[in-house]
Chain A
C-alpha cells in the first residue's frame, strides 16, 4: 500500500514539474534573473504547490498517516550555520544550471545528455556531502 501511495505521490510530483515548465532551465533562470527579461512562472508554481500542502499540514495534528507510522516531527526551531551555508551552495548551483533535484529527475527522459551529466555530478556531490559536513563542523564548530 505504501508503495502505491509513493507511486501516486511521485507521479503527481513528476507530472506537476513537467506541466509547470519547471524542467525548462530557461524558465528557472528567467525567474532568478531579475535584471533580465524576468519570467514570473516559478512564483505561480510555488504558490500553487504551497496551497494543497498547507491544507495537508492542517490535517496532521491528532491523526495518524493512512498506512502506518507517524507524521514528521514539528520543524526544528534552530537555524544553524549548515542551513545557510548549504542553501547558498545549492542556490549557486541552481542558478548556474537552472536545475534542482526534483526537475533533474523529471527531465531525464527527454532533456538530453546535459541532464545526465548534471545528475551524475549531483549524485557525486551527495556522496561527498557527509564528509564535507563533518570537516566543516571540525574546522568551525557550529556552536
Chain B
C-alpha cells in the first residue's frame, strides 16, 4: 500500500516533521519563535542585534546541513529561474513583504498556525492566494516563469 504513495509526498512529510521538530527545539529550549524572515531581518535592520549569536548560529546550521547531506543525495536541481529581473523583483517583494507582515512561511505558517494564531492563519491565507494568483498571471498569462 505504501508503495502506491508518491515518494515525494513521504519525503515532504518526513522533512516537514523535521522542520517542526526544529521549531519545537528552538521554542522549548531557547524560548524563541522559529521564523526565518524574523531571524534574518533582525540581523539586517539591527532590531535583533541583542541576540545576534543565536541568530547567526541558527542560520549557519540551516545553510550547512544541506551542504553536508549533498554527498549522500547527489546533486539537486532547484529549477531556479535564470531571469535576473524575476529573481531581483521576487527577492525584494519577499524581503519587504515578510518584514512588513512580520513573518513568512515558517513564522506565520508553521509556528503561527500550530498555536491557532489568527494572525498566522490570515497571513497564510493571503500569501498563498497572492502566490497562486502570481503563478497564474506570470506562468499562464504572461509566460515569464
Contacts and interface: CB of A to CB of B under 8 A. Distances in A.
A35 B87 CA distance: 23
A88 B57 contact: no
Contacts of A123: 40, 44, 91, 95
Contacts of B36: 13, 100-102, 105
A85 B93 CA distance: 11
A38 to B, nearest CB: 11
A140 interface: no
Contacts of B80: 25, 97-99, 107, 111-112, 114-115, 118
Contact of A110 (B25, B61, B67): B67
B130 A95 contact: yes
A47 B37 CA distance: 20
A91 B130 contact: yes
Given A11-B22, A88-B127, A3 B94 contact: no
Nearest to B140: A35
Interface in A13-48: 13-27, 29, 32-36, 39-48
Nearest to A56: B24
Interface residues of A, number: 115
B101 A86 contact: yes
Contact of B76 (A68, A100, A110): A110
A89 B15 contact: no
A89 B126 CA distance: 9
Contacts of B88: 117-118, 121
Contact of A71 (B11, B13, B31, B86): B31
B9 to A, nearest CB: 5
Interface string B87-113: 111111111111111101110111111
A141 interface: no
11 contacts: A2-B54, A10-B59, A17-B19, A55-B24, A75-B120, A84-B122, A86-B123, A89-B93, A95-B132, A97-B87, A100-B36
Given A10-B61, A20-B12, A98-B80, 4 more contacts: A44-B12, A83-B123, A105-B36, A118-B91
Q: 8 smallest A-B Cβ distances: which pairs?
A: A125-B95, A48-B16, A20-B15, A121-B91, A86-B101, A91-B130, A93-B93, A10-B61
